[in-house]
Amino acid sequence: MRSGEATVVKNAGSHYLLSELPAWDLFPAVLRGKIRLKENVVTNPVAVGDRVRYQADEDGCVITDILPRRNYLIRRSTNLSRQAHIIAANIDRAYLIVSLYFPEVKLPFLDRILVTCELYGIPATIVLSKTDLYRELAPEEIARFRSIYEKAGYPVIEASVPEGTGIEEIRESCRGRVNLFSGESGVGKSSLIKALDPTLDPKIGAISTVHLQGKHTTSLYEMYPLCSGGFVIDSPGIRGFGLVDVEKEEIARYFPEMLQAAEGCRFTPCTHTHEPGCAVKEAVDRGLISPERYGSYLGMLEEDKKFR
């Protein structure tokens, strides 16, 4: 009986495609039932990017165990309050794709994803896409957006697929890594992935579904190899993003600029809302922390069940 370890590169319902990365040699597998029971707090016990053990015989290949995750990105959606969904696992870097317009960026939504990246130890880069559509119309807004997030410690890359802006920088950054591309629907994520590697077409799917058995062959999450090196995980557009496994008292730790400023607070712990001698509030007043980021933080404290 053949056995080994591999990485999940596609999730199609109850069926999966695996490959023993860094080699790209796909084979199908199904999930052993007892693993489903162990992971009942999430909708998907196995995620793209997971390292798994498998056994194979003449009847097919079965995933027998999930190896410990180095990290993962997880969310709770607005219509699924009790369970969470793992977007991807074992990520070297997350690229969060946003557009100032078409569609308009929602900063609280972006900040929730960034907090989750900080919580689970995933380095994040923000990609400001479609800049050819509004660079000349809104230069001040672009500068303001960059200031907010670069001041918080996040790289911001301006990108335009038609102009080729930022594509080579992203391609080089992805080389040799497993990279997650995520964002709201319509931000240009699929076009960006295709620009990085013209041989891919994420909208159609570079991995054929003919290998998969059963009825559920619609791909939700999928990993692609980049011809320039490295891998990219494409995720469907996200509409809701609720925090998981973080207490309200801990949220401020996952705003890097607030964590640094909090060292000067008079009281410990400090909620950074009403306490005298709060260094975070002082930093906001002095312009060292953006009011937009501070507003996102307050929103998370007040309504952690509203995700947009």
Residue 90 lies in a domain: yes
Which residue segment(s) compose the domain that 208 sits in?
Answer: 72-234
- Same domain for 107 and 144, yes or no, is yes
Strand partners, 148: none
Residue 38 lies in a domain: yes
pLDDT mean by block of 10 residues, the chain; 308 residues: 89 88 94 62 88 89 94 78 85 97 93 96 97 94 97 97 96 96 91 94 51 41 94 87 88 96 94 96 96 96 58
Q: How many CB atoms lie within 10 A of CB 25?
A: 9
- Same domain for 117 and 224, yes or no, is yes
- Same domain for 177 and 254, yes or no, is no
Residue 243 lies in a domain: no
- Same domain for 225 and 256, yes or no, is no
Of 42, 66, 90, the position where a domain reaches its end is 66
What's the confidence (pLDDT) of residue 53?
A: 95
- Same domain for 122 and 107, yes or no, is yes
Residue 14 lies in a domain: yes
Strand partners, 17: 10, 28
Of 45, 66, 87, the position where a domain reaches its end is 66
What's the confidence (pLDDT) of residue 245?
A: 83
Find the DSSP H helices in the chain. 33-38, 107-119, 139-151, 167-174, 189-196, 256-261, 279-285, 291-302
Cα angle for residues 281, 283, 289 (degrees, 5° grid):
100
Residue type, 95: Y
**What is the reported pTM?**
0.88
Distance CA 174, CA 214 (A): 34
Strand partners, 66: 52
DSSP state letters, 178-203: EEEEEE-TTSSHHHHHHHH-TT--TT
- Same domain for 205 and 151, yes or no, is yes
- CA 114 vs CA 70, 183, 231, 254: distances in Å: 18, 12, 21, 8
Of 180, 209, 234, the position where a domain reaches its end is 234
- Same domain for 284 and 171, yes or no, is no
- Same domain for 213 and 78, yes or no, is yes
Residue 255 lies in a domain: yes
CATH number of the domain that residue 25 is part of:
2.40.50.140
Residue 225 lies in a domain: yes
CATH number of the domain that residue 268 is part of:
1.10.40.50
- Same domain for 155 and 26, yes or no, is no
What's the confidence (pLDDT) of residue 278?
A: 97
- Same domain for 12 and 45, yes or no, is yes
Residue 51 lies in a domain: yes
Residue 29 lies in a domain: yes
CATH number of the domain that residue 129 is part of:
3.40.50.300
- Same domain for 59 and 147, yes or no, is no
**DSSP-derived 3-state class of residue 72:** strand
- Same domain for 96 and 210, yes or no, is yes
**Number of domains comprising the chain:** 3
What's the confidence (pLDDT) of residue 161?
A: 96
